[in-house]
Structure 1
Amino acid sequence: MKYVSTRGGMQPSPFAEVLVEGLAPDGGLVVPETVPHVSAATLESWRGLDYAGLAIEVIGRYADGVPHADLERLCRAAYDPAVFDDDAIVPVRRLDDELALVGLSEGPTLAFKDMAMQFLGQALEYALAHDGATLNILGATSGDTGSAAEYALRGKRGISVFMLSPQGRMSRFQRAQMYSLTDPNIHNIAVAGDFDDCQHLVKQIAGDADFKRRYRIGAVNSINFARVCAQIVYYFWAWLRATDAVPAAERSGRPIDVTVPSGNFGNIFSGYLARRMGVPIRRLVLATNENNVLDEFFRTGVYRPRAGEEALATSSPSMDISRASNFERFVFEVLDRDPERLRAAWAGLERDGVLDLSAERERFADEFGFASGSSTHADRVAAIRETHERYGVVVDPHTADGLAVARRHLEGGIPMLVLETAKPAKFPEIVEEAIGRAPSVPEHLRELLEAPQFVTEASNDQAEIRAIIERDALA
Structure 2
Amino acid sequence: MDYISTRDAQANPAKFTDILLSGLAPDGGLYLPAFYPTITPQLLDDWRALLDADGYAALAAEVVGLFVDDIPPAQIAEITARAYRTPVFSTDEIVPVTTLTDSLHIAHLSEGPTAAFKDIAMQLLGELFEFELGRRGEELNILGATSGDTGSSAEYAMRGRENIRVFMLTPAGRMTAFQQAQMFGLDDPNIFNIALDGVFDDCQDVVKEVSADAAFKAKYRIGAVNSINWARLLAQTVYYISTYLRVTESNDQRVSFAVPTGNFGDICAGHVAKQMGLPIDKLIVATNENDVLHEFFSGGNYRPRSAAETQATSSPSMDISRASNFERFIFDVTGRDAALTADLFAVKTKQGGFSADELGNSEALRAIREDYGFYSGTSTHADRVATIKNVHAEHGYLLDPHTADGMYVARSLAGQVETPIVVLETALPVKFSETIEEALGAAPPVPERFAHVMEAGRHVIDLPNDAATVKDYISAAIEGTK
TM-score range, shorter chain: over 0.9
Matches within 5 A, 1:343-422: 343-358=342-357, 359=362, 360-411=364-415, 414-422=419-427
CA deviation string 1:193-213 (max 9, x = no partner): 110110000000001111100
Q: State the match for 2:205 in structure 1.
A: 200
Amino acid in the other structure paired with 1:21: S
Q: For residue 287 of structure 1, what is the aligned residue in structure 2?
A: 286
CA distance in 1, matches of 2:191, 2:71: 28
Encode CA deviations 1:46-85: one digit per residue, 9 max, x unaligned.
Answer: 1132100110111111112210111011000000122111
Question: What SS does the corresponding residue of 2:77 show, helix, strand or coil?
Answer: helix
Q: Does 1:263 align with 2:262?
A: yes
Which consecutive unaligned segments of at least 5 residues does structure 2 have? none
Displacement of 1:473 in angstroms is 2.0
Question: CA offset at residue 96 of structure 1?
Answer: 1.0
Q: 1:444 to 1:44 in 2, by over 3 A?
A: closer
RMSD: 1.2
Residue 344 of structure 1 deviates from its aligned partner by: 2.1
**Structure 2 Cα separation of the partners of residues 361 and 10 of structure 1:** 26
Aligned pair partner of 2:225 in 220, 227, 231: 220
Q: Distance in 1 between matches of 2:214 and 2:137?
A: 21
Contact 2:304–2:349 (CA<8 Å) still a contact in 1?
no
Residue 444 of structure 1 and its aligned partner are, at CA, apart by: 4.1
Contact 1:23–1:206, Cα closer than 8 Å, also in 2: yes
Secondary structure (helix, strand or coil) at the match of 1:270 reads helix
Letter in 2 for 1:382: A
8 Å Cα contact 2:292/2:303 also seen in 1: yes
Aligned to 1:167: 172
TM-score, structure 2 as length reference: 0.95
**For 1:269 and 1:39, how far apart are their aligned partners in 2?**
21
User: How big is each residue's C-alpha offset from its partner over 1:82-102, in whole Å with a ceiling of 9 and x where there is no partner?
Assistant: 211112110110001221000
State how far apart, in whole Å, the 1-side matches of 2:347 and 2:296 are. Answer: 16
C-alpha distance in 2 between matches for 1:351 and 1:91:
41
- Using the TM superposition, give the Cα deviation of residue 233 of structure 1 relative to its aligned residue in structure 2, in angstroms: 0.1
The separation in 1 between residues aligned to 2:71 and 2:479, in whole angstroms, is 26
CA distance in 2, matches of 1:252, 1:119: 27
Q: Which residue of 2 aligns with 1:334?
A: 333
CA distance in 2, matches of 1:453, 1:2: 42
Q: In structure 2, the residue corresponding to 1:414 is in which secondary structure?
A: coil
Aligned partner of residue 329 in structure 1, secondary structure? helix
Question: Residues 162 and 186 of structure 1 are in contact (CA less than 8 Å); yes or no, is this contact kept in structure 2?
Answer: yes
Taking structure 1 as reference, are residues 444 and 36 closer, same or farther at Cα in structure 2, changes over 3 Å only? closer
CA distance in 1, matches of 2:111, 2:349: 39
Cα deviation 1:426-452 (Å, max 9, x = unaligned): 000101111111101134423110211
Query: In 2, distance between residues paired with 1:173 and 1:63?
Result: 36
| Residues 351 and 99 of structure 1: CA distance in aligned 2, closer, same or farther (over 3 Å) | closer
Uncovered stretches (5+) of structure 1, i.e. residues with no partner: none
- Asked if 1:235 is matched to 2:236, the reply is no
TM-score by length of 1: 0.97
Aligned counterparts of 2:376 and 2:70: Cα–Cα separation in 1 = 37
Where does structure 1 differ by over 3 angstroms across 4 or more consecutive aligned residues? none
Q: Does 1:104 align with 2:109?
A: yes
- Within 5 Å, give how 1:125-136 maps onto structure 2: 125-136=130-141
Q: Say yes or no: does 1:19 pair with 2:20.
A: yes
Aligned mate of 2:441, from 429, 436, 444: 436
Name 1:31's counterpart in structure 2.
32
Partner of 1:47 in structure 2?
48
Question: Partners in 2 of 1:35 and 1:46 — Cα distance?
Answer: 18
* Alpha-carbon separation, structure 1, partners of 2:215 and 2:355: 34
Task: Tell me if the contact between 1:140 and 1:165 (Cα under 8 Å) persists in the aligned partners.
Answer: yes
Contact 2:29 2:342 in 1 (8 A): no
Aligned counterpart, 1:84: 89
The CA distance in 1 between the partners of 2:219 and 2:347, in whole Å, is 32
Distance (Å, rounded) in 1 between the aligned partners of 2:468 and 2:332: 35
Determine the structure 2 residue equivalent to 1:304: 303
Instruction: Say if 2:7 is the partner of 1:7.
Output: yes
Q: CA deviation at 1:342?
A: 1.2
- The aligned amino acid for 1:127 is E
* Separation in 2, partners of 1:314, 1:417: 24
Tell me if structure 2 keeps the 8 A contact 1:205–1:211.
yes
Secondary structure of 1:417's counterpart equals strand
Which AA in structure 1 matches 2:388? I
Task: Work out the percentage of aligned pairs sharing the same amino acid.
Answer: 51
SS of 1:201 mapped into structure 2 = helix
Structure 1 residues 119-144: Cα deviation after superposition (integer angstroms, max 9, x where no partner): 00000010101000001000000010
- The C-alpha deviation readout for 1:170-202, integer Å capped at 9, x for no partner, is 000000000010110000000011101100000
Measured in 1, the distance between the counterparts of 2:406 and 2:251 equals: 27
| Partner Cα distance (1:255, 1:191) in 2 | 43
For residue 143 of structure 2, what is the aligned residue in structure 1? Answer: 138
Q: Supply the distance in 1 between the matched residues of 2:433 and 2:318 (Cα, whole angstroms).
A: 17
8 Å contact 1:134–1:474 — kept in the other structure?
no
